[in-house]
Amino acid sequence: MNGIWEKFNFSIIIAETTTRLLPVKLANLSISTLRLLKAVLTKALSALFFFSMDDLFSSEDDDHLLDLDYHPYARKRPLSSSLYSDEYEETDEESNRQKLYLVSYRWWKEAQRSVADQIGGVLYTVLSNNDDADSEIVLDLRKEESSGTRDKAGEVASGREYALVNEALWLRTLKWHNDRKTSEEDARYPFVAEDQSQEVFALLIRLSFSPETNSLLVKISLKDNTVDLYRRACSIFSYQSELFQIWDFSGQTSQFVMNEMINLPNISPGKLGKEILLELHVHGFFVSTNDTNERLTEWSKTENSFGKSRVKTNKSSDNPSTYLTLTDALLSGTGYRGIGLLGLTGLQNLGNTCFMNSAIQCLVHTPQLVDYFLGDYQKDINYENPLGMNGELALAFGELLRKLWAPGAMPVAPRMFKFKLAKFAPQFSGYNQHDSQEFLAFLLDGLHEDLNRVKCKPYIEAKDAEGRPGEEVADEYWQNHLARNDSIIVDVCQGQYRSILVCHICKKVSVTFDPFMYLTLPLPSTTMRTMTVTVFSSDGIVLPTPFTVTVPKCGRLKDLVDTLSVACSLRNDETLLVAEIFKNQIFRLLDEPSDSLALIRDADKLVAYRLPKVNETYPLVVFSHQQLKRPYSFGVMASNWKPFGVPVVARIQDFSSGSEIRNQFLKLLSPFLMPVEDVVNDYDGDETGNTINENSKMEDIVSSSVPDSDAGSDSGAENDFHLNAGFKFYLVNKMEPVEIKMNEPVPISRFTKKLDISIHWSDKMIEKYDTCLLSSLPEVFKPQLFTGRPQESISLYKCLQGFLQEEPLGPDDMWYCPRCKKPRQANKKLDLWRLPEILVIHLKRFSYSRFFKNKLETYVDFPIHDLNLSNYISHIDGQISNCYQLYAISNHYGGMGGGHYTAFVDYGHGRWYEFDDDRVFAVNEDRIKTSAAYVLFYRRVREV
């Protein structure tokens, strides 16, 4: 409500001023003055609308009129880029109006020595006229003709030399002093600084131009200000016949003089030009006592506590009226404290906008961006960039940043910023929850395009890097990038990595150097997967054994075979043949090393057959198993054969007799033979109770199990009888199955590479072999529910290694090979080449697929003070540090269905604060490492 009344009172003042101007003869008024009156009358009708000085003194036709957003190096922005548009009816955006600040020149110049872009100013000699000092102060400002933009950095400023700056420059200077003071003060009292004893209060002044003396007149009257504020003005400006100087670094007075010079023919002799009512904020002239300092120190110990402490406004007076209540000052706008709390302002949640608030707080506490947007960033706005947003996003972000860094500010509602954001990014419109990293990526890219200093991007064709040194190619790529992209975002946030692609077919190597804005580091659980594969041996000794191995999630079949070979101790003379089993049949053979492992699902069942390398040219024989099934159907007995178990595989050279097929099959089944005693016990009696002779049963087992090398002998004929009763072999072809006779050649072509043989098992053979072992086959991955295993800590360096390791491109991410002239699968390897000043690291916690979404709560142990990337960068520049320090974190709490974003920010010297929407509170450094860390912000530091 206080803000609304403040606007209402200001509108009344404007209306009164306009009413006084109405009796002037219209014929004597210039067109610009008439437009001014029209604008004033129109705006004054809305009691809740604050005047923007841009609205008051700008129009489409009069670019020369006074623009309080003027800077000598800034171009006039079009009306379409104004932060206030007709379609947006927000009325509480007070910061859009420009403010003037009067400060000590020495205080201002001390900070400017550290700024690269020195700003020129106009020097005025000021004479105070105090004939009627009880009700009005008149200041005569005369320009020093020889001043120009001369640099006074080397001169010692007197105590009666002031500076006139706009709000952005004042905030930047205030922040510089705040940073310096907080770095010098003891951490126990981080906010007790000299500048905190200096309050800011607003004076309403009237500015006019005198054509006779060619000077500016400033009137500070009692009728425009409260008694208290007028007394303060008197203590500053009411010195009888004493000269003092004011440097104008805002550029506004020169614009006003220019406008008045144009209107000189319309001003009657001896008359003053029109008066303009301005709001002047005075900072740095408060004189405190020892008692006041003690009270201020006590107040400063409590953050954001606006107590009822009373502060003297003039040491020469003990009148109670010269005291100011801090709470009243904050609400009334006459003055405010809390300068030491710069940047600790929260953002209101407009409805599921915590994702936006979290990312914004991290950005507005990026040192380089703060200094840039508190400076004259508008000179860099690119209104012609078709990829940009007409500068509107940059302007909205700059205004929001200045609000958040204004001293004594209450939580800010970023409605205007969200409105501009949704205008250019409809995906962020409405009030749905979004991803803070996606928002951050769009915002950085949008700010870059709005602030791109390159007005016309040249076309540059990249040259082939083959045969040239990497340093030369990298610098060429970077210069080509800067020729098209030049902004504060590029200067601060962009680095460069090397990308190496190798074609699987022609082995073409392609090397490119691309820029990056942030690094998306996959967590180990997102880059690797565990796979269980059952290994079958062909030596007739070892039972099938399952092995669980870890392979890259986007790896190739070669990665699985190599890892599995180590796990099963594969000999040099052996090879592995991987196959997928489905419904007791080999669904497909995985024999292409470049096949992607992403095609293998967790529910699949894989086997790997150990085969001798010397027999790789022999045909592959696949033995699949069939057993008799006798279900009842409508009371009628029916019989059929169904598959069971896992097929076994061998390579056979000799097909001259079916006995060779039989002997190889029996060898493969040898490990599955039931122990002799178990078979004997199972057959220790028949249905009639007669005892079976153990010797005869043992003979059956041996005769049916031991391969017969002499098929023509009498014993071979006896074994054939047992085998024919136990197994029948059928050659599977496209027509009907063909039975294989034991002593006859197998009817196949000599060019056959693969032979499918179906084995019919009798009930007797099923009892002799452990078919449970033959049928037991685990899935590739079986999720374990409710595992009580404690969560492991994963180093950020391990995540970085996963990002930099070589990986194959999947079928959905084919690379166009310039040599093959067609899309190909390729191996991709990334290397860090050039690191930015601000390194943004995105931890890939969210994974998406066609069927489900998932969030990883993995705890990542990231360095705070000493992130050293020297071992992870391919190009070492001895003059540039590769060490970084953490200064901000965007956190996400909750799961995929919902959650909440917050931010941690380092205020300096290990003082961390948590920004939870509009709530800001201190937090210990040892609490900022959590499994909620989502986006990390690092700044480069000098190596120790």
Q: Are 119 and 169 in contact (CB under 8 A)?
A: yes
Q: Of 354, 554, 568, 799, which is the active-site residue?
A: 354
Q: Are 819 and 506 in contact (CB under 8 A)?
A: yes
The number of domains in the chain is 2
- Residue range 719-745: mean pLDDT, rounded: 74
> Confidence class of residue 22 from pLDDT cuts 50, 70 and 90?
very low
Please give, one letter per residue, the 3-state secondary structure of 503-546: ECCCCCEEEEEEEECCEEEECHHHHEEEEEEEEECCCCCCCCEE
Does residue 762 fall inside a structural domain?
no
Does residue 302 fall inside a structural domain?
no
737, burial (CB in 10 Å: exposed 0-12, middle 13-18, buried 19+) = middle
Q: What's the pLDDT at 637?
A: 45
851, burial (CB in 10 Å: exposed 0-12, middle 13-18, buried 19+) = exposed
667, burial (CB in 10 Å: exposed 0-12, middle 13-18, buried 19+) = middle
Q: Which residues pair with 585 in a beta bridge?
A: 582
Location of structure tokens 């000799």: 654
Q: Which residues pair with 520 in a beta bridge?
A: 842
pLDDT (tens digit per residue) in 191-208: 433 444 457 888 898 888
The fraction of the chain above a pLDDT of 70, given in percent, is: 68
- Range in 298-312, 469-483, 673-687 with the lowest mean pLDDT: 298-312
Does residue 928 fall inside a structural domain?
yes
Residues 6+ apart with CB under 8 A from 273: 208, 209, 210, 211, 260, 263, 267
Q: What's the pLDDT at 136?
A: 85
Nearest to 832 by CA among 602, 500, 553, 589: 500
Q: 152: which 2 tokens?
A: 């006074």
Q: Give helix 415-424 / helix 354-363 axis angle, nearest 10°.
A: 100
- Residue range 224-249: mean pLDDT, rounded: 79
Does residue 261 fall inside a structural domain?
yes
Q: Are 621 and 679 in contact (CB under 8 A)?
A: no
- Residue range 79-100: mean pLDDT, rounded: 42
- Range in 276-280, 348-352, 930-934 with the lowest mean pLDDT: 276-280
Residues 6+ apart with CB under 8 A from 757: 621, 622, 623, 624, 661, 665, 729, 730, 731, 732, 740
Q: How far apart are CA 186 and CA 227, in angstroms?
A: 39
Q: What's the pLDDT at 6?
A: 42
Does residue 114 fall inside a structural domain?
yes
Q: What are phi and psi of 588, to 5 degrees?
A: -160, 150
Q: Which residues pair with 840 in a beta bridge?
A: 937
Q: What's the pLDDT at 515?
A: 96
> Confidence class of residue 298 from pLDDT cuts 50, 70 and 90?
very low
Q: How far apart are CA 397 and CA 394, in angstroms?
A: 5
Please give, one letter per residue, the 3-state secondary structure of 126-159: EEEECCCCCCEEEEEEEECCCCCCCCCCCCCCCC
In this model, does residue 230 exceed pLDDT 50?
A: yes
Q: What's the pLDDT at 411?
A: 92
- Residue range 673-698: mean pLDDT, rounded: 50
394, burial (CB in 10 Å: exposed 0-12, middle 13-18, buried 19+) = buried
Q: What's the pLDDT at 934?
A: 96
In this model, does residue 74 exceed pLDDT 70?
A: no
Residues 6+ apart with CB under 8 A from 220: 136, 137, 139, 203, 204, 205, 206, 230, 233, 237
In this model, does residue 461 exceed pLDDT 90?
A: no
Does residue 496 fall inside a structural domain?
no
Q: What's the pLDDT at 43?
A: 42
> Confidence class of residue 895 from pLDDT cuts 50, 70 and 90?
confident
- SS3 label, residue 696: helix
Q: What's the pLDDT at 890?
A: 97
Long-range contacts of the stretch 471-479 (C-beta < 8 A, 24+): 471/875, 473/511, 473/513, 474/498, 474/513, 474/833, 474/834, 474/875, 477/512, 477/513, 477/514, 478/513, 478/515, 478/834
Is position 772 annotated as part of the catalytic site? no
Q: How far apart are CA 756 and CA 732, in angstroms?
A: 6
CB atoms within 10 A of CB 365: 23
Q: What are phi and psi of 79, to 5 degrees?
A: -65, -30
DSSP state of 460: -
Q: How far apart are CA 170 and CA 344, in angstroms?
A: 18
Is position 820 annotated as part of the catalytic site? no
Last residue of a domain, one of 260, 283, 306: 283
Q: How far apart are CA 61 and CA 58, in angstroms?
A: 8
Q: How far apart are CA 823 and CA 821, in angstroms?
A: 7
Q: What's the pLDDT at 257?
A: 72
pLDDT (tens digit per residue) in 501-544: 999 889 889 999 999 999 999 987 767 788 999 999 988 889 99
In this model, does residue 174 exceed pLDDT 60?
A: yes
Q: H/E element holding 281?
A: strand 276-283
Domain around 859: 789-940
* Most confident residue range from 218-227, 245-254, 776-785: 218-227
Nearest to 304 by CA among 264, 344, 332: 344
Q: Give helix 392-405 / helix 415-424 axis angle, nearest 10°.
A: 160
Output the domain CATH number for residue 826.
3.90.70.10
Query: Between the CA of residue 37 and those of 41, 818, 943, what are the distances in Å?
Result: 6, 68, 61
In this model, does residue 680 exceed pLDDT 70?
A: no
Q: What's the pLDDT at 88?
A: 42
Residues 6+ apart with CB under 8 A from 502: 508, 509, 510, 826, 827, 829
Q: How far apart are CA 215 and CA 922, in angstroms?
A: 51
Question: Which amino acid is located at 779 in the chain?
Answer: E
Q: How far apart are CA 368 and CA 373, in angstroms?
A: 9
* Most confident residue range from 16-20, 369-373, 695-699: 369-373
- What's the chain's length in residues? 944
In this model, does residue 186 exceed pLDDT 80?
A: no
> Confidence class of residue 883 from pLDDT cuts 50, 70 and 90?
very high
Q: What's the pLDDT at 840?
A: 97
DSSP state of 919: E
How confident is the prediction for the chain on average, in pLDDT? Answer: 74
Question: Which amino acid is located at 229 in the chain?
Answer: L
- Range in 405-414, 455-464, 741-750, 847-856 with the lowest mean pLDDT: 847-856
Q: Which residues pair with 510 in a beta bridge?
A: 501
In this model, does residue 877 exceed pLDDT 70?
A: yes
Query: Between the CA of residue 531 and those of 226, 281, 606, 773, 845, what are the distances in Å?
Result: 79, 69, 9, 20, 22
Q: How far apart are CA 49 and CA 6, in angstroms?
A: 10
Q: Are 478 and 513 in contact (CB under 8 A)?
A: yes
pLDDT (tens digit per residue) in 770-804: 888 888 899 998 875 444 444 567 899 999 998 99
Location of structure tokens 């974190």: 889
Q: H/E element holding 177?
A: helix 167-184
- pTM of the model as a whole: 0.64
Last residue of a domain, one of 283, 313, 341: 283
- Range in 222-226, 435-439, 749-753, 934-938 with the lowest mean pLDDT: 749-753
Does residue 656 fall inside a structural domain?
no
In this model, does residue 72 exceed pLDDT 50?
A: no
Cα angle, residue 911 at apex, residues 910 and 917 outer, rounded to 5°: 135
Q: What's the pLDDT at 347?
A: 95
Q: 941: which 2 tokens?
A: 């530091």
Q: How far apart are CA 280 and CA 206, in angstroms?
A: 10
Residues 6+ apart with CB under 8 A from 268: 28
Q: How far apart are CA 752 and CA 741, in angstroms?
A: 19
Q: 428: which 2 tokens?
A: 């962020």
> Confidence class of residue 414 from pLDDT cuts 50, 70 and 90?
very high
> Confidence class of residue 415 from pLDDT cuts 50, 70 and 90?
very high
Last residue of a domain, one of 250, 283, 316: 283
Does residue 72 fall inside a structural domain?
no
